[in-house]
């Protein structure tokens, strides 16, 4: 059957969006899950944009791209030759590396952003592709802002880069302006008009500004595109990118209509979605297709009756198709290390040695406080553990007094290297008091931009997950923490953000890509 290549750009286009930035450890954790999901290509980053992005891309190539059956690891690069060198330096470790180079072809970008003529841009594109091909066979080219580019000029550029050796031609709707029928016609015309298109893969990359990203992507497939660029949970600039789970499940569920297939292991979709939410602290809306809390909940009486009588009456997909857990009790107080390791393995976390020791200790602490431990609780423990960057400050002790008629106050002890520092603070609530105490110890003053609290599971004893966005003197960082005690979770979230600031990251350039 005809195969559509699924190109995931959660770690590049998705990660660039405000509030979704991930450190290297977080990207690695996510990349491992993308490999289990069996996407065909992981776009791991934009190496020249910052040193952190370079390092993250390189580590994904080294640690995930070298695994048996690993996806292609791709890096993004502008058409500058030095950009391409830097990109190759990062992706070259993968078994199957790809260089993805792009340049804008719309007059509006040429005039205001690049200040170059059409001929200059065509020339630069050809040279870029040739240069990339001198490093590897697998080269992708994107004309940025394709939907607003002059059609004939763009086709000339595409014909020239295919001639120069590009293997994949990606057509982005960078500003999310296209409407399905028009977009489909455009893709079909590109196929007709561009010389050599029958020898390369045609790809689509759609943004969701008008809510058409998924519709445009599958319309692209109907018109001959055989690669779709998308992200988990549809994260991305502004209104986001086409959502991977929606594209994949549409193609999968309506195979009768599209007549194509993907290599994605759909049972890994739910885990990928939840892992991304855990890492970024940003959750999908309840009515989000495929992965939202209510996506499979048949609440209305008449539907429920129908579902109970015969599932297929209303269910076009089964929850197990995307790997939704049934929220069953998995582990309790008396479960041992082996049971924990086995359950974590099922969830996709292969821990051993000291990592497993730490997770087990956290699990025991949790099981003491909470009778039943669910899959979501475990994910919460482990993703925090696996993705926390280097810890400059650690929480040693926390004591909070709060209530009606008292001034909330907190005493905190933080460990830094071998030393323990203690201070206290007061505030207009217990969280404020804890943050004041931490400020007194570290001397770092943060302005809280956003605070959210969510329970990992149902039940009064559920783990609370706190996500924060904090502005430390112009550097905005996010942090998260979890505990059955929401004040402690808040303290941990603040501390994880603070630890990111004391391990400063470099500036990222403003260029964003297709």
Find the shortest distance in angstroms from Cβ 107 to Zn ion.
20
Nearer to Zn ion, 56 or 470 (CB): 56
Nearer to Zn ion, 281 or 514 (CB): 514
Find the shortest distance in angstroms from Cβ 231 to Zn ion.
9
Tokens of 220: 């692209």
Candidate residues 13, 15, 26, 375; the one interacting with Zn ion per rule CB under 5 A: 13
Nearer to Zn ion, 144 or 156 (CB): 144
Angle CA 317–322–323, to nearest 5: 125
**480 by DSSP, 3-state: which?**
strand
Closest CA to 86 of 95, 94, 77: 77
Overall size of the chain counted in residues: 514
Q: What gap in Å lies between CA 503 and CA 487, rounded to an integer?
A: 25
Q: What is the number of other CB atoms lying within 10 angstroms of the CB of residue 410?
A: 25
In eight-state DSSP terms, residue 48 is G
Kindly indicate which of the ranges 11-19, 42-50, 156-164, 245-253 contains the residues binding Zn ion, using the contact rule CB under 5 A.
Answer: 11-19
Sign of the torsion angle spanned by Cα atoms 336, 342, 343, 347: positive
In eight-state DSSP terms, residue 462 is P
Find the shortest distance in angstroms from Cβ 28 to Zn ion.
22
Q: What gap in Å lies between CA 54 and CA 72, rounded to an integer?
A: 17
Nearer to Zn ion, 13 or 40 (CB): 13
Kindly indicate which of the ranges 5-13, 108-116, 247-255, 320-328 contains the residues binding Zn ion, using the contact rule CB under 5 A.
Answer: 5-13
Find the shortest distance in angstroms from Cβ 14 to Zn ion.
9
Find the shortest distance in angstroms from Cβ 164 to Zn ion.
23
Find the shortest distance in angstroms from Cβ 249 to Zn ion.
21
Nearer to Zn ion, 141 or 363 (CB): 141
The angle, 0 to 180 degrees and rounded to 10, between the axes of the packed helices 430-442 and 486-502 is: 30
Kindly indicate which of the ranges 160-168, 443-451, 463-471, 506-514 contains the residues binding Zn ion, using the contact rule CB under 5 A.
Answer: 506-514
Find the shortest distance in angstroms from Cβ 13 to Zn ion.
4
Tokens of 156: 């000339």
**What region does 405 belong to: left with phi over 0, alpha with psi -120 to 50, or beta?**
left
Whole-angstrom CA distances from 222 to 169, 181, 197, 251, 259 are 17, 11, 16, 10, 9
Nearer to Zn ion, 174 or 387 (CB): 174
- Contact positions with Zn ion (CB under 5 A) in 402-461: none
Number of residues that bind Zn ion (CB under 5 A): 2
280 sits in which H/E element: helix 269-280
Main-chain dihedrals φ then ψ at residue 144, nearest 5 degrees: -65, 150
Nearer to Zn ion, 97 or 514 (CB): 514
Q: What gap in Å lies between CA 33 and CA 35, rounded to an integer?
A: 5
- Contact positions with Zn ion (CB under 5 A) in 305-364: none
Find the shortest distance in angstroms from Cβ 233 to Zn ion.
15
Nearer to Zn ion, 280 or 496 (CB): 280
Kindly indicate which of the ranges 10-18, 285-293, 396-404, 448-456 contains the residues binding Zn ion, using the contact rule CB under 5 A.
Answer: 10-18
N- to C-terminal Cα distance for the chain?
30
Nearer to Zn ion, 144 or 321 (CB): 144
Residues that bind Zn ion (CB under 5 A): 13, 514
């Amino acid at each position: 059957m005809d195969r559509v290549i699924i190109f995931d750009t959660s770690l590049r286009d998705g990660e660039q969006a405000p509030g979704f930035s991930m450190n290297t450890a977080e990207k690695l954790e996510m990349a491992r899950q993308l490999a289990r999901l069996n996407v065909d290509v992981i776009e791991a980053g934009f190496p020249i944009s910052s040193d952190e992005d370079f390092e993250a891309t390189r580590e994904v190539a080294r640690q995930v791209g070298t695994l048996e059956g690993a996806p292609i690891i791709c890096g993004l690069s502008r058409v500058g030759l030095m950009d391409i060198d830097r990109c190759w330096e990062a992706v070259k470790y993968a078994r199957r590396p790809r260089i993805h180079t792009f340049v804008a072809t719309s007059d509006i970008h040429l005039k205001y952003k690049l200040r170059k003529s059409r001929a200059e841009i065509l020339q630069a594109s050809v040279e870029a592709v040739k240069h990339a091909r001198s490093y590897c066979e697998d080269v992708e080219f994107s004309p940025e802002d394709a939907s607003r580019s002059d059609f004939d000029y763009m086709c000339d550029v595409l014909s020239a880069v295919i001639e120069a050796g590009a293997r994949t031609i990606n057509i982005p709707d960078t500003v999310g302006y296209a409407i399905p029928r028009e977009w489909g016609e455009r893709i079909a015309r590109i196929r007709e008009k561009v010389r050599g298109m029958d020898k390369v893969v045609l790809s689509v990359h759609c943004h969701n500004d008008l809510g058409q990203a998924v519709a445009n992507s599958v319309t692209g497939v109907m018109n001959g595109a055989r690669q779709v660029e998308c992200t988990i949970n549809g994260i991305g600039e502004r209104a986001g990118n086409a959502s991977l789970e929606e594209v994949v499940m549409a193609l999968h569920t309506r195979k009768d209509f599209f007549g194509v297939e993907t290599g994605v292991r759909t049972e890994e979709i739910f885990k990928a979605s939840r892992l991304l939410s855990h890492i970024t602290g940003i959750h999908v809306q309840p009515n989000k297709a495929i992965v939202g809390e209510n996506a499979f909940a048949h609440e209305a009486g008449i539907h429920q009756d129908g579902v109970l009588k015969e599932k297929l009456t209303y269910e076009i997909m089964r929850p197990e198709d995307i790997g939704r857990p049934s929220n069953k009790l998995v582990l309790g107080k008396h479960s041992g290390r082996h049971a924990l390791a086995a359950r974590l393995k099922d969830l996709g976390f292969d821990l051993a040695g000291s990592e497993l020791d730490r997770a087990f200790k956290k699990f025991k602490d949790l099981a003491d406080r909470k009778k039943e431990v669910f899959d979501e609780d475990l994910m919460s423990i482990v993703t925090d553990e696996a993705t926390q960057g280097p810890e400059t400050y650690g929480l040693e002790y926390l004591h909070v007094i709060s209530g009606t008629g008292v001034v909330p106050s907190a005493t905190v002890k933080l460990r830094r290297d071998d030393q323990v520092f203690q201070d206290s603070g007061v505030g207009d609530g217990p969280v404020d008091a804890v943050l004041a105490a931490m400020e007194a110890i570290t001397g770092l003053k943060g302005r809280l931009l956003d605070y959210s609290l969510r329970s990992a599971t149902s039940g009064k004893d559920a783990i609370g997950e706190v996500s924060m966005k904090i502005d430390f003197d112009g550097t905005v960082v996010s942090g998260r923490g979890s505990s059955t005690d929401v004040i402690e979770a808040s303290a941990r979230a603040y501390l994880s953000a603070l630890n990111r600031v004391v391990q400063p990251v470099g500036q990222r350039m403003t260029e964003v890509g297709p």
